[in-house]
Amino acid sequence: MSETLYSEIAQFLPATPREADDRETLLRLVRKHGLHILDRDCAAGHITCSGFILSPDLRMTLMAYHLVYQSVGWTGGHADGDPDLLGVAIREAKEETSVTKIWPLSRRILSIDALPVPPHEKHGKPVAAHVHYNITYGLIAPVNQPVAEKPDENRSVRWLPTEEIAACCTEAHMLPVYDKLIRRMRRLAAEKAALPQAMLRPLLAWYPEHHRALPWRETADPYRVWVSEIMLQQTRVEAVKGYYARFLEALPDVQALADCPEERLLKLWEGLGYYNRVRNMQKAARQIIAQHGGRFPQSYAEIRALPGIGDYTAGAVCSLCYGMPVPAVDGNVLRVMARLQEDFRNVLDGAVKADITARLAAVYPQADCAMLTQALMEIGATVCVPNGAPDCESCPLGALCMARQAHSERMLPVREKKTTRRTEQRTVFVLECEGKIAIRKRPARGLLASLYELPNVAGRLSPEEAIAQCSTWGVRPQALEKTVERRHIFTHITWEMQGVFLRCGAMPEGFVWADAAALAETYSLPTAFRCVLAGEPI
């Protein structure tokens, strides 16, 4: 672990002789004392971590009036054995100011300074003079959040215009440190802002030779592109290929989609999940027939107004089919941009996504719009991948990527969900009588609306309770054949399912009784139920 600490400190590139001396002194101490340099009782001095906090526009700084120093200053504190130096800086900033929304401008160390600490008292006990080897990170926090003092350490916390620091800080030796931190943070932010423009040439040069051949890339027909983009939401590319071909063979144009009976439509979509996607597609198709004479609209506003089409899909159709300089920002693009610019903001925040979209829109070329949209999608899907290490060695943006330079690529993007997924227990019945299985239609509203389901009830029933439940349905249960355990995960809920297989002696009218052929060809049974019926894992 001391090697990791040494490596992190060694990566800091000093800009002045003083910084070079301080870094080398600290590296010698790490070699000599190892992780003990993180502890307060290290006689040679010890590591502290500070966060210099600026507002997103870099014009305001958040500072506290420290009781020890009797001056306004930055936030920070002792590492106290914790080698996660950036984590310490963020934790101390939150504790000293009570801000909750805060993120690093970069994982890179912004400054290393050997700072002498005079004798003082803390919690009524004398503290001898010593040296803080202070490691500073640049942090960003929005100004529109509550702040509060930490009574045992500071007297006040407030935002200051950066030009007013000198008037409020009585520690003259700290003013040059604060000045260099502000300059470095602003320079770093300017470098980030220039990256969207800088990435265009290498990305467009890379795409023609490295992209995958996918069926929806062989056309600029807006209907076909639209179908593919809706299918690709929440679904893997390889899984979509077969569905895409079958769907277009059955419904080759907007009119065919608008006219398709619901049962047939849901059957074509079966297994893709999120059935509201295809229901909205049909609503959109009918709107295109009614309002646009059956011709797919050609403006962003008109496309965005169609049911089920958001900013991403509208941008994709506009750029891929009509050559408009409109970005299509999905999870792949957000990941690429977050890593390229080492952006630690939460990409699930709508305001952050809108900001990234606007920054891309500002540099979108008038030509090659379709290629740029495809290239951003492709590099996110095949190189700058999710859920694993990106292939930085083969990335055309590797030389530009700030996350790669700071070794923070595995930390990005930040995805902080506001909601938690709840879990429900359900007992699902496979009722068989004369070679047919009981199914029924779900309510017209809510989860899996209007789709067919296996009969089920909330909770986990014992065998005796399951048989009693089936008796109330009039199916005359005869034998309990087996039970299976299955799980299915929806967006906001997880079903923990016990599948109960019962042979029955009656087929009452409360159910639709379907044989294997009907289940395969006619009735759309969601994956959540098919996995119970077939005994297949999710």
pLDDT digits (tens, 9 = 90+) for 465-507: 999 999 999 999 999 989 999 999 887 899 999 999 999 999 9
Residue 528, SS3 per DSSP: helix
Q: Are residues 308 and 359 in the same domain?
A: yes
Contacts of residue 181, defined as CB under 8 A and 6 or more positions apart, other chains included, come to 52, 74, 110, 111, 136, 138
Q: Are residues 60 and 118 in the same domain?
A: yes
Q: Are residues 452 and 407 in the same domain?
A: no
Q: Are residues 363 and 435 in the same domain?
A: no
Element (H, E) at 199: helix 175-210
Provide the domain count of the chain: 3
- Beta pairing partners, 157: 64
Q: Are residues 333 and 463 in the same domain?
A: no
- Domain presence at residue 45: yes
Check pLDDT > 80 for residue 68: no
Q: Are residues 378 and 436 in the same domain?
A: no
Place 70 in a pLDDT band, splitting at 50, 70 and 90.
Answer: confident
The domain spanning residue 447 has which CATH number?
3.90.79.10
- Domain presence at residue 492: yes
Check pLDDT > 70 for residue 419: no
- Domain presence at residue 192: no
Check pLDDT > 60 for residue 58: yes
Check pLDDT > 90 for residue 527: no
Check pLDDT > 80 for residue 65: yes
* Rounded distance between C-alpha atoms, residue 379 and residue 333, angstroms: 8
Check pLDDT > 70 for residue 313: yes
pLDDT digits (tens, 9 = 90+) for 120-160: 666 667 767 788 899 999 999 999 999 988 887 778 899 99
Range of 472's domain?
422-534
Whole-number pLDDT of residue 367: 86
Check pLDDT > 80 for residue 417: no
- 262-269 and 276-292 helices cross at what angle (nearest 10)? 130
- Domain presence at residue 22: yes
Catalytic positions are 229
Q: Are residues 234 and 145 in the same domain?
A: no
Check pLDDT > 70 for residue 96: yes
Whole-number pLDDT of residue 17: 93
Q: Are residues 368 and 485 in the same domain?
A: no
Q: Are residues 153 and 219 in the same domain?
A: no
Residue in this structure with the two tokens 């999905």, named with its chain if needed: 330
- Domain presence at residue 355: yes
Lowest mean pLDDT among 145-149, 198-202, 411-415: 145-149
Mean model confidence pLDDT for the chain: 92
Q: Which is more confident, 153 or 180? A: 180
- Domain presence at residue 194: no
> What mean pLDDT comes out for the span 388-407?
94
pLDDT digits (tens, 9 = 90+) for 234-291: 888 999 999 999 999 999 999 999 999 998 999 999 888 888 899 999 999 999 999 9
Percent of the chain with pLDDT strictly greater than 70: 97
Place 538 in a pLDDT band, splitting at 50, 70 and 90.
Answer: very low
Q: Are residues 86 and 139 in the same domain?
A: yes
Lowest mean pLDDT among 23-32, 330-339, 446-455: 446-455
Cα 318 off chain centre by: 25
Whole-number pLDDT of residue 124: 66
Lookup: tokens for 482: 């087996």
Cα 372 off chain centre by: 22
Whole-number pLDDT of residue 105: 97
The per-residue DSSP string of 287-320 comes to HHHHHHTTSPP-SHHHHHTSTT--HHHHHHHHHH
Q: Are residues 152 and 224 in the same domain?
A: no
- Domain presence at residue 230: yes
Whole-number pLDDT of residue 109: 96
193, amino acid identity: A
Domain boundary among 141, 170, 199: 170
Whole-number pLDDT of residue 529: 92
Domain boundary among 170, 193, 228: 170
> What mean pLDDT comes out for the span 290-295?
95
Whole-number pLDDT of residue 120: 63
Q: Are residues 239 and 377 in the same domain?
A: yes
- Beta pairing partners, 21: none
Domain boundary among 145, 170, 195: 170
- Domain presence at residue 184: no
Q: CB 356: neighbour CB atoms within 10 A?
A: 23
pLDDT digits (tens, 9 = 90+) for 122-132: 666 776 778 88
pTM: 0.81
